[in-house]
Chains A and B, each alone.
Chain A
Amino acid sequence: KNQVEQSPQSLIILEGKNCTLQCNYTVSPFSNLRWYKQDTGRGPVSLTIMTFSENTKSNGRYTATLDADTKQSSLHITASQLSDSASYICVVSGNTGRRALTFGSGTRLQVQP
C-alpha cells in the first residue's frame, strides 16, 4: 500500500532558528515528490517538486532533499520567520491515475518570537 509518513506531527521553534521536517514514503513506482506549505485557512502552495534524479532543490530559505534509495525526503527551513508558521505537506506522485498522488498528514510548524 502506498503511504507517506511525516514527522514530527507538530513542531515549535523560535524565530531565527533552523528546522528540518521529515517525509518517508513507500509509493512505487515513483515519479516525483513535492512539498506544500499550507497557511491556516488557505489552499496548499507548492514549495518544491523533485523527480527521481534530483536530490536537492532550494526555494529561498526552503531546501528539500530526496534520497530515492531510502525513500526519504526532508525539508529544511533556514532562519525561520513568523510567516513560516503553517502546515507542511509532503506529496508523492507515482504513475497516472488515482494512485498518482499520496499525501502525508503534514507537520504543523509554529514559529514563536
Chain B
Amino acid sequence: DAGVIQSPRHEVTEMGQEVTLRCKPISGHDYLFWYRQTMMRGLELLIYFNNNVPIDDSGMPEDRFSAKMPNASFSTLKIQPSEPRDSAVYFCASNLGGSASYEQYFGPGTRLTVT
C-alpha cells in the first residue's frame, strides 16, 4: 500500500486566497484525521471523519476552515480566506478500527506558507 497520500507537498499563497489541501487515506481505513502542526502549538487535531461522516470538528479554528470527505478515498481541507497565521504543516492520517484512538498512519504533510 502507498500509505496516506497528501497533495500538494508545499503550498505558498498570498493572504486572502483560497487554499485546498487534499488527502487520500489508506485503502480500507474508516477513520480520517486532519492535523495542523506548528512550532508554537505542536500537533493539533482539527477534525476527523468516520465512514466519510464528520464526527468531531471542534478543533477547526474558525469558519474559514472547512473539510469534506465525499467518498472513502478522498478528503479536502479548505481555508478561505487564508491568513499568515494559517502557515503550518497540515497532516492527514487514517486508521482502521473500532474507535478514533486506534493507531494512526500519517501522510507526509503539506507545508503551507501564507504571505
Contacts and interface: CB of A to CB of B under 8 A. Distances in A.
A31 B103 CA distance: 12
A97 interface: yes
Contacts of B91: 43-44
Given A93-B101, A97-B56, A103 B93 contact: no
A105 B103 contact: no
B100 A97 contact: yes
Contacts of A105: 42
Contacts of A34: 103
Interface residues of B, number: 21
Contact of B43 (A45, A94, A103): A103
Interface string A56-72: 00000000000000000
Interface in A21-63: 31-32, 34, 41-46, 49
Contact of A96 (B43, B45, B100, B107): B100
A101 interface: yes
- Size class of the A contact interface (CB-based, 8 Å): 20 to 34
A75 interface: no
B99 A96 contact: yes
Interface in B81-115: 91, 93, 99-101, 103-109
18 contacts: A31-B101, A34-B103, A43-B91, A43-B93, A43-B107, A43-B108, A44-B106, A94-B101, A95-B101, A96-B100, A97-B56, A98-B56, A100-B101, A101-B100, A101-B101, A103-B42, A103-B44, A106-B42
